[in-house]
């Protein structure tokens, strides 16, 4: 093992981190995309498709998915990135796998519809680790699931998302990662 020290890139402009996991048939893949505050890619890392063996399925049992998603894919990718954004955004359907990437909290997001008049302010708690926020520019509601129950950090994440939403579409980069992973996995190929 080498004694190389990983140097992290620090930037004055906001960096936005995204993590996505993809499962196609029995293949698991993951990708991390770091963009600037307007959505231009700064760094992209991904895993090759991973297929659990029969023995893995037996030994890991019901925790296999969690192990592949969090340890084998997310933690490995996190160790490879050079840029370190304040937080990482993930698709809402991955909320059960929230944690941290290299010490940075994760937030799962999705567009949300709420009946008019039910919002009580810019941050609306649903559950201990869930809230709804309104993005000022577009009046779009986002449902958030947090990796932490710390309310101060949750409010900081919400403010960060609202600030970044002024200069970019928060959801679109997740589509880019998914498309890239499908392309790498070969699902997009015809033939």
* CA 70 to chain CA centroid, nearest Å: 12
Structure tokens that stand for 152 in this block: 């101060």
What are 31-81's pLDDT values in tens digits? 999 999 999 999 999 999 999 999 999 999 999 999 998 999 999 999 999
What value does the mean pLDDT of the chain take?
Answer: 87
Residue % of the chain over a pLDDT of 70:
88
Report the distance separating Cα 53 and Cα 190, nearest Å.
Answer: 27
Any long-range contacts for 111-118 (C-beta under 8 Å, 24+ apart)?
111/140, 111/141, 111/142, 111/143, 111/171, 112/141, 112/142, 112/143, 113/141, 114/141
Q: Comparing 20 with 123, which gets the higher pLDDT?
A: 20
How many other C-beta atoms are found inside a 10 Å radius of the C-beta of residue 7?
Answer: 7
């Amino acid at each position: 093992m080498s004694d190389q020290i990983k140097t992290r890139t620090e930037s004055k402009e906001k960096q936005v981190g995204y993590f996505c996991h993809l499962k196609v048939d029995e293949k698991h893949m993951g990708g991390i995309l770091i963009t600037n505050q307007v959505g231009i890619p700064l760094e992209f890392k991904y895993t090759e498709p991973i297929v659990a063996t029969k023995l893995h399925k037996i030994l890991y049992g019901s925790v296999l998915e969690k192990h592949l998603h969090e340890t084998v894919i997310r933690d490995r990718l996190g160790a490879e990135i050079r840029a370190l954004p304040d937080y990482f955004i993930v698709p809402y359907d991955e909320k059960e796998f929230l944690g941290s990437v290299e010490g940075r909290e994760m937030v799962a997001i999705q567009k949300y519809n709420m009946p008019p008049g039910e919002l009580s302010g810019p941050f609306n708690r649903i559950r201990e680790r869930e809230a709804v926020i309104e993005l000022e520019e577009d009046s779009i509601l986002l449902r958030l699931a947090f990796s932490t129950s710390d309310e101060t950090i949750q409010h900081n994440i919400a403010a960060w998302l609202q600030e970044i939403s002024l200069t970019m579409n928060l959801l679109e980069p997740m589509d880019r990662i998914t498309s890239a992973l499908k392309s790498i996995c070969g699902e997009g190929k015809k033939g």
